[in-house]
Chains A and B, each alone.
Chain A
Amino acid sequence: MKKSLHWPIGLLYIGLILYAVITFIPFTWALSASFKSLAEISSGGSNFVPQTFTFDNYKQIFLQEPLFGRWLFNSAIVALIVTLFNLLFNSMAGYALARVQFPGNRFLFFLILAVLVVPAQITLLPKFLILKSLGWLNSYQGLVVPTVVNATFIFMMRQFFLNFPKELEEAAALDGLNRFETFFQVVLPLAKPALAAQTIFIFMGSWNEFLLPLVVMSDPTMFTLPIGLNAFKGQYITYWNYIMAASMVFTLPALAIYAFFNRYFIQGVTFTGGKS
């Protein structure tokens, strides 16, 4: 039994490594480009190691751009608050849709699916007008409040909670816990993998959000990183060297969050290697 499994596993590794190469090479190329001069990037060569290694791109974005720190702060604070609220609100809504019986449950679920199918470009203008009438342009709440709930992840949490073992809830009910106590004391602690996945996605979504801050924030001190860094995409010339460096800096936090929350998916079952 064990012997016969050897070479399928070898094949599996080859497949995994090949796929890793496909995902890894472009990234390392971008990393190396962030140490190249604009001239070298534009010369069209596909060399991996920079001919002349330079830190100038990083210097330019950190030191020459006086607002870089401010943009980083704006992005971080917005992403952090948005992530926290989303975790709470989406999970609550997802749980209610999956497990609580109330009139209008199905209708609300249908509505949530319905708003998901409308492209963001279309809701941008009315959203902008609403924020304007609330007086929230150029403010953090203008970016935070519309995004503290996310239909996509309510939907996701609902699907996760559909699988949640009923026995645990019934036991909690017998212990005299109400819905809220059950949710916070029994259900949430057991939903860590789903919450971890949600954290990664919400953080990334908020961190990368472009359209909303682009129209809501007109004051440069209120820009988030993606908007600020867009300055390197000039009207006539694109400064690929700065974009590469900036995006490396920009990517790191999201990658760190992912790497950190990955631990919640790590238990793993043993399919290979015969019986567990």
Chain B
Amino acid sequence: MKKQVARLTCLGLLLLVSSCRSNSSDTNAPIEITLSGWQSNPNESKLLTKVINEFEIKNPNIKVKREVINSQYMDVIRTRLIGEVAPDVFYLEAFEAPTLMKSGVLEPLDGYIKPDYDIKDFEPSLINAFKRDGKLYAIPKDFSTLALFYNTTAFQNANLKQPPETWAELTQFAKRLTVDTNRDGKPDRYGMGVAPELPRQLFMIKAFGGTLVDQQNYASFASPNGVKGLQLVIDQYRRDRTVAQPSDVGANSNSEAFGQGKVAMAIEGAWAIPYLKDTFPDLKFATAEVPTINGKKGTMAFTVGYGMNRQSKHKDAAWKLIEFLTSKQGMKSWATEGLALPSRKSVAAALRYDRNPLYAPLAAGAKYATIWQSGETLPTVMTSFDNQFVSALLGQQPLKDAMQKAQDTANREIYLSN
């Protein structure tokens, strides 16, 4: 009995001492901040770890905890934001930004930016993607546009010397590149692959002056001008039969179909380059700018930024991390994987992306690309578009009717949800 009492007292004392100690050391203890994102590939992850280590050496009082969310990224982030346990700094896609910027969960960053940070160095269109009412809510970390990937072997076999420069030319080329070697009536290789999704088709809507949404964020893509661009793709698929969806040729994605040689051209982003090189080492391919439509250049741009949680307890430390990761030096040390292009013009130039024959067309697209982003109604608009566009592609209904139906459905839902 006595022994037990003694033991208990000891334990109590121990607790007291240890709690005292932890209290006193709190002032010197490093601040821990959390960074959440996804992992594109293991190499990229290692590079990021290296950059973070450099940051921790430079800022010995800040410790960075990395959290990786590889599935349903935004669903998880939103859940954690609602539960007020969200990370201090997290990846934010431009596509998702409007809802978060509006809801007030992001910290405006303008106050933190110092002149020597050189914010003017960023592509302006990328910065604008994260602005609302004049305030900046995230710093773009990298981006990619879409470019035309073409199989040079297939081009040689079809006696094509140059990539197409106009969409009319592309349509002609696609016919010559479609081959049916075993003559079973079903092409063994199609001229081009198509991904029937709004993020890949939005610039086609805009080619003839169409718009995705109007001033009030209601869908407006079914206008005659909007349909005109999309009709080009439908005609290639239905009339010429020179274009295929990934599922038509048994592939999981457009870039896989291209890698397998089942389509000779594909409009893809920077991420496809390391993928194709690693997975299909024998494939010979090159890239070019997306052919002009209606005499105008056009493509899509996708960008991801670092956003700061408004409820973060260590906002200064969080900004230091964002600042370091997006500084000229920080960006340089991990934009070498080639999955995307650096968002700073000076870094892109230093890494010579504009001179690299594979990346130059992607870099050039930045000037005229449509950023994949719209208002808060975009999810509704996109679901509706994707749902009906495929149906037009499959010939279940004329494109005009399909788009009108998609637009009406989207707008009714937008109206009802307000």
A43 to B72 alpha-carbon distance, docked (Å): 28
Cβ–Cβ contact A236 & B39, under 8 A: no
Cβ–Cβ contact B281 & A39, under 8 A: yes
A125 to B81 alpha-carbon distance, docked (Å): 11
Cβ–Cβ contact A64 & B42, under 8 A: yes
Cβ–Cβ contact B68 & A137, under 8 A: no
One digit per residue, 1 when the CB lies within 8 angstroms of any chain A CB and 0 when it does not, for chain B 51-94 equals 00000000000000111111110001001101111010000000
On chain B, the residues within 8 Å of A236 by CB distance are 40-41, 271-272, 275, 339
Cβ–Cβ contact A231 & B68, under 8 A: yes
Cβ–Cβ contact B250 & A214, under 8 A: no
A43 to B261 alpha-carbon distance, docked (Å): 9
B279 at the interface (CB under 8 A from A): yes
Contact of A137 among B41, B85, B278 (CB under 8 A): B85
Cβ–Cβ contact A237 & B275, under 8 A: yes
Cβ–Cβ contact A235 & B40, under 8 A: yes
Closest chain-B Cβ to A204's Cβ sits at a distance in Å of 20
Closest chain-A Cβ to B279's Cβ sits at a distance in Å of 5
B159 at the interface (CB under 8 A from A): no
A128 to B86 alpha-carbon distance, docked (Å): 13
A129 to B66 alpha-carbon distance, docked (Å): 22
On chain B, the residues within 8 Å of A128 by CB distance are 79, 83
Query: Which stretch, A15-23, A192-200, A215-223, A263-271, touches the partner chain B?
Result: A215-223
24-49 of chain A: CB within 8 A of chain B: 38-39, 42-44
B256 at the interface (CB under 8 A from A): yes
A171 at the interface (CB under 8 A from B): no
Cβ–Cβ contact B250 & A44, under 8 A: yes
A120 to B38 alpha-carbon distance, docked (Å): 24
Closest chain-B Cβ to A140's Cβ sits at a distance in Å of 17
Cβ–Cβ contact B251 & A129, under 8 A: no
Closest chain-B Cβ to A41's Cβ sits at a distance in Å of 9
B112 at the interface (CB under 8 A from A): no
Closest chain-B Cβ to A46's Cβ sits at a distance in Å of 9
One digit per residue, 1 when the CB lies within 8 angstroms of any chain B CB and 0 when it does not, for chain A 209-245 equals 0100011001110000001001101111111000000
On chain A, the residues within 8 Å of B70 by CB distance are 227, 230-231, 233-234
On chain B, the residues within 8 Å of A237 by CB distance are 40-41, 271, 274-275, 279
Of chain B, the residue at the smallest CB distance from A233 is B70
B342 at the interface (CB under 8 A from A): no
Size of the B side of the interface (Cβ < 8 Å), in residues, is 39
A100 at the interface (CB under 8 A from B): no
On chain A, the residues within 8 Å of B262 by CB distance are 44
On chain B, the residues within 8 Å of A113 by CB distance are none
B259 at the interface (CB under 8 A from A): yes
Cβ–Cβ contact A39 & B279, under 8 A: yes
A124 at the interface (CB under 8 A from B): yes
Of chain B, the residue at the smallest CB distance from A226 is B71
254-290 of chain B: CB within 8 A of chain A: 256, 259-260, 262, 271-272, 274-275, 278-281
B216 at the interface (CB under 8 A from A): no
A132 at the interface (CB under 8 A from B): yes
Of chain B, the residue at the smallest CB distance from A217 is B67
On chain B, the residues within 8 Å of A215 by CB distance are 76, 79-80
Closest chain-B Cβ to A63's Cβ sits at a distance in Å of 12
Of chain B, the residue at the smallest CB distance from A133 is B83
Q: Given that A128-B79, A214-B71, A236-B339 are known contacts, is A42 also in contact with B279, CB under 8 Å in the complex?
A: yes
Of chain A, the residue at the smallest CB distance from B256 is A42
Closest chain-B Cβ to A170's Cβ sits at a distance in Å of 49
A235 to B260 alpha-carbon distance, docked (Å): 20
6 additional contacts (CB under 8 A) given A214-B71, A218-B34, A231-B42? A42-B279, A43-B260, A128-B79, A218-B87, A234-B70, A237-B271
> What are the nearest 8 A-B pairs in CB distance?
A236-B271, A230-B70, A235-B40, A132-B83, A237-B275, A44-B260, A218-B67, A230-B71
List the interface of chain A (C-beta within 8 A of B). Answer: 38-39, 42-44, 64, 124-125, 128-129, 132, 137, 210, 214-215, 218-220, 227, 230-231, 233-239
A-B contact list, 10 entries, CB within 8 Å? A39-B278, A42-B259, A42-B260, A42-B280, A137-B85, A210-B71, A214-B76, A231-B39, A234-B41, A236-B275
